[in-house]
Amino acid sequence: MRVIAGEAKGRTLKAVPGMNTRPTTDKVKEALFSMIGPFFEGGLALDLFAGTGGLGIEALSRGMERAVFVDMDKLSLEVIRHNVQAAGMTERAEIYRNDAERAIKALHKRGLSFSAVFLDPPYRMKKMDELMLELCRLGLVEDGAVVVIEHDAAHVYDEQIGDYEQVKYARYGDTAVSIYRYEPAGAKVES
């Protein structure tokens, strides 16, 4: 695993030991960022179920101003800290041990709003649509924000989830990537 592009391009990232974490492959990461970016001009990213931190680090490398990394696994947190440091992004990263639901409530209390959200949960978790709606309800996504779900290709998410509209879908073997844009109904411009 490595950082694909941007200021930390080529830096090697450490994997979480064991079989509990499934890091995003370089091939999928490269395709994903070419679909949503490929580069950013600032903004705040949320890497929920961060694992190795690879998606959030890639977003930082490609121009996101800051990123928040959340994972429940203690070993994952150690790897995220190592990878953030190896990529030279320590000052722009916040790393927390928490489950997704409690984390987003805590982020809501801080008044944060994200322009990019990465959801790469264990494949057995198939309720990212509910989590997206909660992010919206708590005001954690900016208008026009991009939300990426990496999931088991056997599971299909709706093309419309509340005010999120699917803009891309791609399949890579057993892995699928569903990309959504958050466009609140009141914010849409009539043409």
Domain presence at residue 173: yes
Domain presence at residue 14: no
- Model pTM? 0.93
Sign, CA dihedral 136-141-146-149, equals negative
Average pLDDT over residues 94-110: 96
Domain presence at residue 19: no
CB atoms within 10 A of CB 15: 14
Domain presence at residue 20: no
At residue 164 the predicted structure's pLDDT band, cuts being 50, 70 and 90, is: very high
Mean pLDDT of the chain: 92
Domain presence at residue 111: yes
Average pLDDT over residues 124-139: 96
At residue 37 the predicted structure's pLDDT band, cuts being 50, 70 and 90, is: confident
- Do the Cβ atoms of 45 and 67 come closer than 8 Å? yes
> Residue 112, by phi and psi: left (phi above 0), alpha (psi -120 to 50) or beta?
beta
Reply yes or no on whether the pLDDT at 187 is more than 70. Answer: no
Domain presence at residue 122: yes
Q: Is the peptide bond before 38 cis (omega within 30 degrees of 0)?
A: yes
- Do the Cβ atoms of 103 and 138 come closer than 8 Å? no
Reply yes or no on whether the pLDDT at 20 is more than 80. Answer: no
The pLDDT value recorded for residue 191 is: 41
The pLDDT value recorded for residue 180 is: 98
Reply yes or no on whether the pLDDT at 130 is more than 80. Answer: yes
Q: In terms of residue numbers, what domain contains 49?
A: 26-187
The pLDDT value recorded for residue 25 is: 80
Reply yes or no on whether the pLDDT at 27 is more than 90. Answer: no
141/44 Cα distance (integer angstroms) = 10
Domain presence at residue 129: yes
Q: What percent of the chain lies above the pLDDT cut of 90? A: 83
CATH code for the domain of 171:
3.40.50.150
Q: How many domains in the chain?
A: 1
Query: Phi, psi at residue 52, to the nearest 5°?
Result: -95, -15
At residue 123 the predicted structure's pLDDT band, cuts being 50, 70 and 90, is: confident
Domain presence at residue 73: yes
- Do the Cβ atoms of 135 and 167 come closer than 8 Å? no
Please, where are the H alpha helices in 62-185? Answer: 74-86, 100-109, 128-137
